[in-house]
């Protein structure tokens, strides 16, 4: 994500939901990422196009630390919105 923000300089997210499943030591966060390709060239020169993309993180904990994380994101849809695909 850090590298993406060099191309989408107005990148931001809105947290939509956050849940804990203590029995399974799991936390889930869902959000919407927004950004406009107005910065450094990425896979193509700056397009000026914007993306609005849902994503979720599922984080498994062990001994109070993240032991595994999965990001669920339809990257193809986001890339298409930005004019990269």
Q: Can you give the pTM of this predicted structure?
A: 0.84
| 3-82: CATH architecture | Roll (3.10)
Cα 60 to Cα 9: distance, rounded to the nearest angstrom? 30
What are the pLDDT digits (tens) for 29-75? 999 999 999 988 878 899 999 999 999 999 999 999 999 999 999 99
Dihedral sign, CA of 19, 31, 12, 72? positive
Ordered by start, the domain boundaries in the chain are 3-82
How far does Cα 20 stand from its chain's mean position? 19
Question: Is 36 in contact with 18 (CB distance < 8 Å)?
Answer: no
Q: Tell me, what DSSP letter sits at residue 76?
A: H
């Amino acid at each position: 994500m850090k590298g993406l923000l060099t191309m989408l300089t107005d990148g931001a997210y809105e947290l939509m939901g956050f849940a804990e499943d203590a029995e399974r030591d799991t936390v889930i966060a869902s959000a919407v990422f927004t950004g406009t390709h107005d910065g450094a060239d990425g896979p193509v020169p700056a397009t000026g196009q914007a993306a609005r993309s849902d994503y979720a993180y599922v984080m498994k904990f062990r001994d109070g630390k993240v032991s595994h994380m999965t990001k669920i994101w339809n990257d193809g849809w986001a890339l298409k919105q930005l004019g990269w695909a």
